[in-house]
Amino acid sequence: MLRKGKSDKKASGGHVYSGRKDVRRINYLQLLAGILIILALNVIGSARFARFDMTTERRYSLTDATKDMLRGLDDVVYFRVYLEGSFPAGFRRLRNQTREMLDEFRAYSDYIEFEFINPTRAGDREQISRTYEMLMDKGLEPTQLQVRGDDATSQQVIFPGALVSYGGKEAPLKLLQDQMGIPPEEVLNNSAQALEYNIASVIRQLTATEKEKVGFLEGQGEYEHRYVADITQSLGRFYDVERVRINERYQNIEDFKTLIVADPVKPFSEEDKFILDQFLMNGGSLLWLVDPVFADMDSLRPPDYETIGMGWPINLDDMLFNYGIRLNPDLLQDLNAAPIPVTTGYVGSRPQISLLPWHFFPLVSPASDHPIVKNLNLVRTEFVSSIDTVAAEDVDKTFLLHTSRNTRVLQTPTRIALDILQNPPDERLFREGPKPVAALLEGSFESVFRNRIPPEVDLPADFKVRDKSEHTAMVVVADGDIIRNQFERGNEPLPLGYDRYSGENFGNKDFILNAVNYLTDDSGLIEARAKELRLRMLDKTRIGQNRLGVQILNLLLPVLLVFVFGVLRIFWRKRRYSR
């Protein structure tokens, strides 16, 4: 029995020793397998590029058009980002998101390089002032922040933008959007949404060798160059912009991709309408900025300062109706309106000027989430009318801009007079709800001259008249003034959308640029504007009510979880290896 016990003990001890050797062998094999898997992934990764975006809204996924553009770069695109320093949390988040987006761009092209610069570290006050002037001269706009300290509040100037250089050329990049009436958190979130589009657009602007042609139509009293000087310059960064007359010759416009009809005041001839119709049938796109009602501030002259708004026929109704849109001969008033300077009294012989909202100048807002108007600032209009869509086969319609719910519709003819500003408006009259003022139509349009004898015009020798268009698009706005820039006292054109009376920047320029970009661009960069990042904000009210509980939860819960995990792991290891 004793011998047998000794034999059992030895056998048992041999079993334990053998088990430990098996565990060690398994650990070595697992380590070797892990190393082999890592090496294999690196070999595969070097041969085939792939990135995985696990976020819900795909915030780190670039559009195919952006990737294609980045892969086609042949020289360094250098970003000097002036969003560095001690900022509030929102701007730190925008800075980090900008860095992440540039890192994402660099993942698809080794030609993307960037640095973040703090302009306040330029040296003494004089050097900092010169740096600020240099940045403003190059197109970057400063923003003033209120920074709250422990016992004081200070002002801080920042430049939320970048200067981008490529091949000896340089262009400004705006990182912070202008949006009136929107909480700062949403403005910063919307700015983050637009990062890919804005960065890709400035790269495209600098690297484009061949530009599509965009034309401002002339011949029907459209705006002269000085009234559209700013938007012409802005469009010129992306396109070859010219002014063109039809003069009953299709050859005059056949090389253009998009035509802009900016506030015509003379009727179109049937010959010119036919050529515009065939331009559309052959894949051209159109931006119509048309006033269906004649009303002008220049008509408000002393002593009465009044005029009559009336329908203004320019012989386009049948054409636009056939394409699927109708411009209504009415005028819209809105309680949400741009101000104008008005004399409200006198001190001695000196007039007292006040800014009062002029309800005939509605501030319109996006009517949809379409990329043309997504996250767009309010757009300033003057004597705008409403529009309706009508049935048109194979044509999709999307409303882009509309007035606020506090709208009043005036049928024409109607009286327009400054004396209405003497009394507060009757808000009961402004309850007709939002009215659309701009729309996008896209698809295959039917010619308005189908089954009609076409007028005699000058066409190319091999030209074939078409009754149905290729897939194309047009944007129709019931206000021609939306594209007109104001002037400084020295008669220098101001940036489009800047109101010299209120000092506000409206979204007119962005709207026109986005519309022309959508109509003209076939690279698909506009798709990046459709990206949406959700703003996951904490409930500040609940945080204030449960401040201590939230702090304890965030500080102690992670430690407790780690502790519990450690105890369970120790218990599991003891139980496994003590057998």
Instruction: Report helix, strand and coil shares of the chain as percent, to nearest 5.
Output: 35, 25, 35
**What string of pLDDT tens digits covers the 579 residues of the chain?**
444 444 444 445 555 556 666 767 787 888 888 899 988 877 776 665 555 555 555 556 788 888 888 988 989 999 999 988 777 778 888 899 899 899 989 988 899 999 998 888 767 788 888 888 898 888 888 887 766 655 556 677 788 899 999 988 899 998 887 766 667 777 777 788 888 888 988 998 888 888 899 999 999 999 999 999 999 999 998 899 999 999 999 999 999 999 999 999 999 999 999 999 999 999 999 999 999 999 988 888 777 888 999 998 899 999 999 999 999 999 999 999 999 988 777 777 787 888 899 999 999 999 998 989 988 889 999 999 999 999 999 999 999 999 999 999 999 999 999 888 888 889 999 999 999 999 999 999 999 999 888 898 999 988 999 999 989 999 999 999 999 999 987 788 999 999 998 888 899 999 999 999 999 976 567 776 655 555 455 555 666 667 777 778 788 888 888 888 888 888 887 777 665
Using only C-alpha atoms, what is the Rg of the chain? 32
Q: Is 8 exposed, middle or buried (0-12, 13-18, 19+ CB in 10 A)?
A: exposed
Strand partners, 212: none
Q: Which of 315, 267, 261, 266 is nearest to 290 (CA)?
A: 261
Cα–Cα distance, 423 to 418 (Å, whole number): 10
Characterize the bridge pairing of strands 112-116 and 143-148: unpaired
Predicted TM-score of the model (pTM) = 0.77
Cβ-count burial 475-497 (b if 16+ within 10 Å, e if not): bbbbbbbbbbbbeeeeeebeebb
Residue that the structure tokens 């009376």 belong to: 501
Decide: 520 and 214 in contact? Cβ < 8 Å: yes
Element (H, E) at 533: none
